[in-house]
């Protein structure tokens, strides 16, 4: 494997910042998705590296800590990965190394770490030499029983080079030496619990799979030349020129064999996809499990307006994630919609200065109120509250700009429990709703009123079964035997 080495010290979950060398960056007060994955197989040599790079640009929102690409031409297999955004990692030199003659398949990954610290050796795709040849894997989600399986594998002589749970699956697959790749992958799926979407490759084919609950999304596309693409979201298919075919079904394993798509229903389907895909994570132009993201967010706002009306003059979204719900709230309530907050598109990840006064300026760097709020009673619509720190700063921004009242409406229920399926929702003690009532949160953020969308409202808006574990503590895809932290496998 090639690539520069970067020095990163990842914080414990209690911290709200992380360090890259001597630079400290703010972690947004939002839930964070773990990863985006993509796989490409073509019947003929194509610019696989370029296609995967484009696909990762479409999935950048799902993870901004690291990126990686693995390609093969049937003989050689090359991996390039590093810490950073897609545009930072894949410079001309790296792309040149990935463009091997005759390449026709590969996988890619963008990472936000939820198991395993943000270190370069945890970047994906991961690879291993096995009786089945070299395998590479890219994974979105979490295996809740990874620590126990890892310990068992260690006791039988397995060697681990990373501290993320993805390596547990690839070691499981490699352990089944007497089974072919499809059989070994299916058997591993049966042993693993949690929410996961995976793309896997050897030198000749690409596989894709999804957990039995379908917690994490995965879709299938067809290239004009008869090739196949697997990706976390449909926009990645569009960007590489593939036509959407369907979602990978919960519990399904699919692979390319002699140019045809093959399928095996490995696990019993019990669909409960993550509600936050529609609330916040997925791109607004995505359609997951036949449900449109933007349309769902608009419906959330409409239901929220019925559940929690407010006497106000203006509905203002917190950009960008609150826009759809704010449109729905304005539409259902009859209150005019306006952009009362401007988001700086160039702010990126905010550098935190050493003084508290300068730290507090980070919200002003990202968001600025517009004159539209002056003298107005404002309904501020956002998708979630995690710790409450950012919400309080935004409320104050609106007041400083002349808003006479600020009524906060959230298009999700209060987040009270951690997610074990691939979302970094922080430790439970950091979740403000786990220790405070709605009225106490309202006082903390300084709003005139505060209301959250109900669980029933989420289900009505999405229109299908969803996982609501971070709201109610009922985990449909299993729970770990002990409290899991991001660095859990580092002590294993």
Encode pLDDT of 206-232 as tens digits: 999 999 999 999 999 999 999 999 999
**Architecture of the domain defined by 31-272:** 4-Layer Sandwich (3.60)
Predicted pLDDT of residue 366:
86
- Give yes or no for residue 155 having a pLDDT over 90: no
Predicted pLDDT of residue 486:
42
Percent of the chain with pLDDT over 70: 84
> Which range in 7-11, 236-240, 477-481 is most confidently predicted, on average pLDDT?
236-240
Predicted pLDDT of residue 488:
46
Predicted pLDDT of residue 345:
83
User: pTM of the predicted model, to two decimals?
Assistant: 0.88
- CA–CA distances in Å: residue 395 to residues 112, 276, 356: 28, 23, 19
> Which of the two residues, 486 and 346, has the higher pLDDT score?
346
Does the domain at 292-466 match CATH 3.40.50.2020? Answer given as: yes
Tell me the mean pLDDT in the region 150-167. Answer: 79
Predicted pLDDT of residue 436:
96
Residue 419's nearest CA partner among 411, 410, 428, 429 is 428
- Give yes or no for residue 234 having a pLDDT over 60: yes
Predicted pLDDT of residue 423:
77
Of 329-333, 346-350, 409-413, the poorest mean pLDDT is in 346-350
Q: What is the mean pLDDT of the chain?
A: 87
Could you tell me the pLDDT band of residue 71, with boundaries at 50, 70 and 90? Answer: very high
Of 3-17, 248-262, 323-337, the poorest mean pLDDT is in 3-17
Which residues are documented as binding site? 274, 321, 382-383, 419, 467, 470
> Which of the two residues, 265 and 13, has the higher pLDDT score?
265
Percent of the chain with pLDDT over 90: 72
Predicted pLDDT of residue 1:
38
Q: In what order do the strands lie in the sheet with 23-26?
A: 8-9, 17-20, 23-26
Which residues are documented as binding site for Mg(2+)? 321, 382-383
| Residue 117 burial (10 A CB sphere; 0-12, 13-18, 19+) | buried
Could you tell me the pLDDT band of residue 427, with boundaries at 50, 70 and 90? Answer: low
Predicted pLDDT of residue 157:
72
Domain with CATH 3.40.50.2020 in the chain: 292-466
Q: In what order do the strands lie in the sheet with 405-410?
A: 314-317, 377-382, 405-410, 449-452
Of 233-237, 268-272, 273-277, 424-428, the poorest mean pLDDT is in 424-428
3-state SS, one letter per residue, for 375-439: CCEEEEEECCCCCCHHHHHHHHHHHHCCCCEEEEEECCCCCCCCCCCCEECCCHHHCHHHHCCHH
> Which range in 26-30, 325-329, 423-427 is most confidently predicted, on average pLDDT?
325-329
- Distance from the Cα of residue 128 to its chain's centroid: 25
Q: One of 35, 52, 149, 367 is an active-site residue; which one?
A: 35
> Which of the two residues, 350 and 392, has the higher pLDDT score?
392
Tell me the mean pLDDT in the region 274-297. Answer: 96
Encode pLDDT of 436-492 as tens digits: 999 999 999 999 999 999 999 999 999 999 999 999 999 999 988 655 444 444 444
Predicted pLDDT of residue 480:
83
Q: Is 70 a catalytic residue?
A: no
Q: Which two tokens stand for residue 357?
A: 């006064």
Predicted pLDDT of residue 153:
83
Domain with CATH 3.60.20.10 in the chain: 31-272
Encode pLDDT of 294-335 as tens digits: 999 999 999 999 999 999 999 999 998 899 999 999 999 999
Cβ-Cβ contacts under 8 Å for 212 (sequence gap 6 or more):
250, 251, 267, 268, 269, 270, 477
Which residues are documented as binding site for [4Fe-4S] cluster? 274, 419, 467, 470
Cβ-Cβ contacts under 8 Å for 258 (sequence gap 6 or more):
none
Encode pLDDT of 176-192 as tens digits: 989 999 999 999 999 99
Encode pLDDT of 121-136 as tens digits: 678 999 988 889 999 9
């Amino acid at each position: 494997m090639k690539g520069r080495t970067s020095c990163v010290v990842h914080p414990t979950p209690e911290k709200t910042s992380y360090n890259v060398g001597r630079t400290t960056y703010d972690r947004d007060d939002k839930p964070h998705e773990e990863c985006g994955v993509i796989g490409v197989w073509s019947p003929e040599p194509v610019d696989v590296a370029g296609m995967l790079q484009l696909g990762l640009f479409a999935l950048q929102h799902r993870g901004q800590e690291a990126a990686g690409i693995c390609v093969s031409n049937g003989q050689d297999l090359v991996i390039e990965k590093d810490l950073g955004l897609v545009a930072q990692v894949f410079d001309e030199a790296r792309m040149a190394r990935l463009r091997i003659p005759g390449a026709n398949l590969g996988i890619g990954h963008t990472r936000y770490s939820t198991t395993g610290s943000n270190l370069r050796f945890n970047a994906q795709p991961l690879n291993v030499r096995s009786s089945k040849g070299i395998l590479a894997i890219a994974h979105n989600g979490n295996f809740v029983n990874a620590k126990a399986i890892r310990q068992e594998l260690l006791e039988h002589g397995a060697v681990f080079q990373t501290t993320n749970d993805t390596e547990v699956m690839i070691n499981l697959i490699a352990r089944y030496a007497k089974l072919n790749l499809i059989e070994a992958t299916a058997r591993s799926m049966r042993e693993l619990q949690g929410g996961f979407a995976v793309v896997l490759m050897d030198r000749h084919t690409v596989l894709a799979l999804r957990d039995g609950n379908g917690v994490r999304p995965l879709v299938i596309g067809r290239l004009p030349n008869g090739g196949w693409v697997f990706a976390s979201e449909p926009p990645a298919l569009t960007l590489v020129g593939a036509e959407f075919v369907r979602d990978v079904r919960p519990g399904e394993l699919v692979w390319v064999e002699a140019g045809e798509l093959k399928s095996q229903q490995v696990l019993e389907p019990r669909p409960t996809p993550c509600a936050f895909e529609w609330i916040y994570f997925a791109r607004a132009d995505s359609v997951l499990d036949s449900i449109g993201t933007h349309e769902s967010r608009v419906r959330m706002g409409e239901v929220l307006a019925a559940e929690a009306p407010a006497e106000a003059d203006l509905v203002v979204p917190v950009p960008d994630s609150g826009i759809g719900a704010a449109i729905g709230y304005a539409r259902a309530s009859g209150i005019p919609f306006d952009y009362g907050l401007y988001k700086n598109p160039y702010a990126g990840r905010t550098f935190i200065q050493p003084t508290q006064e300068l730290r507090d300026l980070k919200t002003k760097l990202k968001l600025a109120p517009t004159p539209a709020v002056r003298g107005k009673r404002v309904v501020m619509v956002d998708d979630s509250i995690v710790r409450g720190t950012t919400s309080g700063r935004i409320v104050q921004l609106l007041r400083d700009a002349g808003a006479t009242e600020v009524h906060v409406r959230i298009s999700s229920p209060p987040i009270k429990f951690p997610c074990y399926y691939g979302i970094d929702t922080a430790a439970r003690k950091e979740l403000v709703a786990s220790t405070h009532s709605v009225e106490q949160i309202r006082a903390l953020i300084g709003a005139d009123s505060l209301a959250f969308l109900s669980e029933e409202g989420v289900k009505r808006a999405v229109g299908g079964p969803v996982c609501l574990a971070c709201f109610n503590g009922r985990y449909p895809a299993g729970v770990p035997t002990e409290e899991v932290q991001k660095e859990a496998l580092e002590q294993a």
